[in-house]
């Protein structure tokens, strides 16, 4: 997805924030699963990739290569979160951190959505000649 001339980066940001919410929700859902490793994505790196400032990463250069699958999202790699205090069962989910990140991501999603709604209302007014 590229930078849109009308909506800017907000369309891609909505898609990325939606996917990040899924990852964070999966972390929370597996908070009690032994051995589960919490995951997240570097949103700043993801947006740099959207703007064409991508870091060198894995590229599928041959049809016989394995798909990148769920390990990459819009050009940014989904990483494992380093635990503040690892548990004895190997689970790295810290529910307080995950909940805080989920809320922060939801607020940023709402901000992008609000921007897009205002932009669409402005375009409607321009089309109607108001």
Per-residue pLDDT of the chain (130 residues; tens, 9 = 90+): 445 778 888 888 888 899 899 999 999 999 999 999 999 988 877 777 766 654 444 455 666 654 544 445 555 678 888 888 878 999 999 999 999 999 999 999 999 999 999 999 999 999 998 7
Residue-level pLDDT at 100? 96
Q: Are 91 and 33 in contact (CB under 8 A)?
A: yes
Give domain limits for the chain.
Answer: 10-59+67-128
Q: Would you state the structure tokens that stand for residue 42, as one six-digit string?
A: 């570097």
Q: Which helix (H) or strand (E) holds 123?
A: helix 95-128
Residue-level pLDDT at 82? 85
Radius of gyration of the chain (CA): 18
User: How far does CA 83 lie from the centroid of its chain?
Assistant: 20
Task: Provide the whole-model pTM.
Answer: 0.73
């Amino acid at each position: 997805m590229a930078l849109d001339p009308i909506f800017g980066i907000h369309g891609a940001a909505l898609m990325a924030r939606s996917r990040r919410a899924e990852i964070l929700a999966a972390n929370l859902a597996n908070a009690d699963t032994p051995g589960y490793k919490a995951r997240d994505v570097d949103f700043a790196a993801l947006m740099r990739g959207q703007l064409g400032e991508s870091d060198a990463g894995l590229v599928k250069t041959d049809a016989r290569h394995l798909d990148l699958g769920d390990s990459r999202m819009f050009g940014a790699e989904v990483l494992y979160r380093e635990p503040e205090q690892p548990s004895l069962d190997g689970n790295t989910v810290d529910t307080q951190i995950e909940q805080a990140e989920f809320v922060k991501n939801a607020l940023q999603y709402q901000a992008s959505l609000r921007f897009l709604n205002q932009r669409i209302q402005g375009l409607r007014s321009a089309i109607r000649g108001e």
